[in-house]
């Protein structure tokens, strides 16, 4: 089964994609992880764009993704998180593979801002927490695992979050029309277990 997980920042799509990967025994592919783990010749090309603060061209993203989804572990399917993000990417993606279902995890902007502004991570081991929602740290200042200091991402201020949500509404939401025949909407304002249950039920 080939699944796309789409939703605004803070919707928990990455968390749910990871859970579904274990439940369905298919790989969870995150575009961010692919960029970080790209092969050397592609890594150099990627770094050029990232160092200059430029967006990675859609064609290069697709080249990296195509290499990944045709690996042997993807024969039974995969869960893709963080792609496509715009209509051009959706069109290019259709040229290399079909998708069985698109899971849209919905979330209000108000809730997204609350969740994102509560995100913290350990500066030592990178473990992630949220001071407003699960998983909450036992101590709001220190990591449960290693005791390291918990810090907030610099781009998790309200102004930056609103800008990211605006980009999502303007660029990513329009692609949902392309997938309306295979689209499943899930309420992302529920707890993690309920969202997981709803996704599993929708795939039966």
C-alpha 41/C-alpha 19 separation (Å) is: 32
CA end-to-end span of the chain, whole Å? 12
Q: Which domains does the chain have, with CATH numbers?
A: 2-108+172-202 (3.40.50.300)
CB atoms within 10 A of CB 175: 20
Task: Give catalytic residues, as residue numbers.
Answer: 13, 85, 119, 153, 164
Kindly compute the dihedral angle of the four CA atoms of residues 145, 131, 119, 173, in this order, to the nearest 10 degrees. 130
Tokens of 141: 């200042």
pLDDT at 55: 75
Closest CA to 10 of 109, 83, 81: 109
pLDDT of residue 32: 81
Contacts of 79 (CB under 8 A, 6+ apart): 3, 4, 5, 17, 20, 21, 24, 26, 27, 28, 29
From the first residue on, what is the mean pLDDT of each consecutive set of 10 residues in the chain (204 residues)? 95 93 96 81 78 80 93 97 93 95 96 91 90 85 95 82 92 95 97 96 93
| Integer Cα distance of 185 and 188 in angstroms | 9
Q: What pLDDT shows up at residue 76?
A: 96
Q: Which residues, in sequence order, are CB contacts of 24 under 8 Å at separation 6+?
A: 1, 77, 79
Global pTM value: 0.84
Instruction: Work out the angle at residue 116's Cα, subtended by the Cα atoms of residues 120 and 152, and round it to the nearest 5 degrees.
Output: 30
* Residue 53 pLDDT: 66
């Amino acid at each position: 089964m080939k699944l796309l997980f789409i939703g605004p920042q803070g919707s928990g799509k990455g968390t749910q994609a990871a859970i579904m990967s274990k439940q369905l025994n298919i790989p969870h592919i995150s575009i961010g992880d692919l960029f970080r783990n790209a092969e050397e010749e592609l890594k150099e090309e990627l770094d050029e764009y990232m160092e200059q603060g430029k967006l990675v061209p859609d064609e290069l993203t697709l080249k990296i993704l195509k290499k990944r989804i045709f690996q042997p572990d993807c024969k039974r399917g995969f869960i893709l998180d963080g792609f496509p993000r715009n209509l051009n990417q959706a069109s290019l993606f259709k040229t290399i593979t079909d998708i069985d279902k698109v899971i849209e995890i919905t979330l209000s902007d108000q809730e997204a801002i609350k969740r994102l502004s509560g995100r913290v991570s350990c500066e030592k081991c990178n473990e992630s927490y949220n001071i407003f929602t699960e998983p909450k740290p036992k101590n709001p200042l220190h990591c449960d695992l290693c005791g390291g200091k918990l810090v907030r991402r610099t781009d998790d201020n309200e102004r930056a979050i609103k800008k990211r949500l605006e980009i999502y509404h303007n660029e990513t939401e329009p692609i949902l029309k392309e997938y309306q025949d295979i689209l499943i909407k899930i309420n992302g304002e529920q707890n993690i277990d309920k969202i997981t249950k709803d996704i599993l039920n929708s795939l039966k």
